[in-house]
Amino acid sequence: MLLIADIDKTYDGGPHIQASLRIPHGASSTILFGPSGAGKTTVLRCIAGLEKLTAGRILFDGHEWTSVPPQKRPLGYLFQEYALFPHLRVRENIGYGVRHRTDVVERVAAKLNVHELLDRWPSELSGGQQQRVALARVLAREPRLLLLDEPLSALDAATRDHVRSELAHLLRGLGIPAIVVTHDWVDALTLGDQMVVMSAGRVLQTGPPQEVFTRPQHREVAAAVGVETVVAGRVKRREGGLAILGVGSAQLAAADPGREDVDFYVCIRGEDVTVEKGRAEQSSARNHLSGIVVNVAPAGILTKVVLDVGFELIALVTRQAVADLELTKGADVFAVFKASAVHLIPKSA
Amino acid sequence: MNWQAVATTLKLASATSIILMIIGLPVSYWVAFSKWRWKFLVEAVVALPLVLPPTVLGFYILLAMGPQSPLGRSYESFAGHGLPFTFEGLVVASVLYSLPFAVQPIAAAFGSVDRKFIEASWMLGVSNLETFFRVIVPQSWAGVMTGLVLSFAHTLGEFGVVLMVGGNIPGVTRTLSIDIYDQVQGLNYSGAARTSAMLLIVSFVILSIVYGFNRKVWLFAADRRHRQDV
């Protein structure tokens, strides 16, 4: 293991955070996932040495790290708002940790495509550019582990998607393991090889992102990930702005994300799926999948109906609908949802 | 105009503000970042000269420098003469008297540096000391300049402490404010008026520069933000 972290941190009169992380050697990225206040950033700061452990230990490549100052840890920490020094130009920001060695600055600037920005001030950069400069600054020191704290939360929605796939591509290309803190499930699926779900200062589940999303082991994890159905799908054809995908033994239509990719994660929220007894003629929804009810279970004020429509699809419906439609195990039904309710995440991203 | 007093005053103010820069930076750093629970006591001590009558401050400094105190004795054995009624003694007193004028603006500026910049510097492998000079001070230069200029200006006008500690020795400890007092005592109102007017104008100009400078820095930053928004 590259990193073994058993973290126990108590704040005076505040939260108690307990988490164990194992990061293997090699270029895998681990998502630290959970709602705000779950303790994700605290875990990251403990690994970085910015917070002292109350108990526990951190071993990095076999070395005891608990009392090593942050300066002596070969880490690349990307802060949430990137923390570019406002009094230094991009060039000096990137060279800050390497005594402004020109060859290093030039090399990482080229790698991150920020060459034409070197003479600008940080305040003159867009959010995406700031992120690339901050990454360049971190990579200049050739860290052995990257710590990314909510790397996309400082960006507006329009640029986030673009920067996310850029970052995913970059992380795969760098060959440096990374720990990425996020509360966004799209980030988790796009950026992560492994995923650690935290809530209220505890680790609830660990595993590959898709497994965590499809088979949450705790109610809190299910609530934290927020999406009931995440399955693999492959584009069969594209027509009129729609992508027709094969999922399991079924076919469904989704808004075409306009990418070359054919392999996607298909994400459908339970609230977006309605269940009907016969084929609804008036409905404008594109997807009418026939199937049977596998399970019915209460989920808060709604009821969770698990359907087999060629793949496992989860619908959240009102209790009234359960009664009206006589939804019981084995009932034949149609699952109806709009093409726009299907969220596609490219697997290659 | 008593040019000798002008020279003494400028020499005193310059020495005081230079020394205050040297000890003010670490003291301000400590005040801004220490987490010691009794820190407020030190802050109160630093601020004391703001409220104490200069005569009280001067009295205690005089006692501390005198031959009865270990401090005074050790200086005397080291330098061959006592501190009271010398220019060096006056500098020591001025430094203490003007300490809050340097420390308060500098500590406030240090304290307002966003912690993430300091941590970003650490995470890039840069030591605390180097972070201080490469991140904290450059982002606080308006506060540092303010502290420097205010302590200079404040020393120009001090009277009570100078009189208590320095006495009134021409060319050594007679500063402008004491010169004015002497002139008034000797009924030389026109001389007192000229010196007073000069001190008034110089002080006003210095303060205008400080405030204008701070405002300009602020406008400059706002302008940069504005250009980015557009």
pLDDT: is A12 or B186 the higher one? B186
Lowest mean pLDDT among A15-29, A119-133, A223-237: A223-237
> Is B117 part of the contact surface with chain A (CB cutoff 8 Å)?
yes
Which pLDDT score is estimated for A348? Answer: 67
Listing DSSP states for A78-143 in one string gives: E-TT----TTS-HHHHHHGGGTT-HHHHHHHHHHTT-GGGTTS-GGGS-HHHHHHHHHHHHHTT--
**Which of B35, B123, B135 should be substituted to probe chain A, the one whose Cβ sees the most A Cβ atoms within 10 Å?**
B123
Whether the CB-CB separation of B87 and B48 falls below 8 Å is answered with no
In the structure, what pLDDT confidence band is assigned to residue B59 with cuts at 50, 70 and 90?
very high
Helix (H, G, I), strand (E, B) or coil at B105: helix
A158 DSSP β-pair partners: none
Do the chains contact at A71 and B127, CB–CB below 8 Å?
A: yes
Which pLDDT score is estimated for B230? Answer: 37
Sequence-separated (6 or more) residues with CB below 8 Å from residue B26: none
Domains parsed from chain B with CATH numbers: 3-229 (1.10.3720.10)
- The alpha-carbon gap from B12 to the nearest alpha carbon of chain A, in Å, equals 34
Q: How far apart are CA A232 and CA A254, in angstroms?
A: 13
Whether the CB-CB separation of B65 and B83 falls below 8 Å is answered with yes
Which pLDDT score is estimated for A281? Answer: 64
> Which of chain B's residues have a Cβ under 8 Å away from the Cβ of A137?
124
Q: Is the pLDDT of residue B228 over 70?
A: no
**What element of type H or E holds A219?**
helix A219-225
Whether the CB-CB separation of B154 and B207 falls below 8 Å is answered with no
Question: Is ipTM > 0.85 here?
Answer: no
Average pLDDT, chain A: 89
Chain B residue whose CA is closest to A99 = B126
Residue A27 per-residue DSSP state: S
pLDDT digits (tens, 9 = 90+) for B94-129: 999 999 999 999 999 999 999 999 999 999 999 999
pLDDT digits (tens, 9 = 90+) for B213-226: 777 655 445 444 44
Work out the average pLDDT over B54-70: 89
pLDDT digits (tens, 9 = 90+) for A119-151: 999 999 999 999 999 999 999 999 999 999 999
CA distances from A101 to A75, A108, A115, A137 (A): 19, 11, 15, 12
- Closest to A150 measured CA to CA, from A36, A46, A53: A36
A245 DSSP β-pair partners: A235, A252
Chain A residue whose CA is closest to B116 = A83
Whether the CB-CB separation of A112 and A136 falls below 8 Å is answered with yes
Chain B residue whose CA is closest to A72 = B125
Which pLDDT score is estimated for B67? Answer: 84
Sequence-separated (6 or more) residues with CB below 8 Å from residue A104: A95, A98, A140
Q: Is the pLDDT of residue A215 over 80?
A: no
Q: Is the pLDDT of residue B93 over 50?
A: yes
Residue A228 per-residue DSSP state: S
Do the chains contact at B120 and A79, CB–CB below 8 Å?
A: yes
- Closest to B22 measured CA to CA, from B101, B112, B95: B95
**Which of A11, A87, A94, A142 should be substituted to probe chain B, the one whose Cβ sees the most B Cβ atoms within 10 Å?**
A87
Do the chains contact at B116 and A86, CB–CB below 8 Å?
A: no
Taking the alpha carbons at both ends of chain B, their separation in whole angstroms is: 56
Whether the CB-CB separation of A306 and A242 falls below 8 Å is answered with no
In the structure, what pLDDT confidence band is assigned to residue A282 with cuts at 50, 70 and 90?
low
Work out the average pLDDT over B159-171: 86
Which pLDDT score is estimated for A194? Answer: 93
> Which of chain A's residues have a Cβ under 8 Å away from the Cβ of B118?
none
Which pLDDT score is estimated for B226? Answer: 46
pLDDT: is B88 or A217 the higher one? B88
Backbone dihedral angles phi then psi of residue B153, each to the nearest 5 degrees: -65, -40
- Report the phi/psi class of residue A49: left, alpha or beta, with left for phi > 0 and alpha for psi in -120 to 50: left
B207 DSSP β-pair partners: none
Sequence-separated (6 or more) residues with CB below 8 Å from residue B43: B31
**Token representation of residue A189:** 């699926």
Which pLDDT score is estimated for B222? Answer: 45
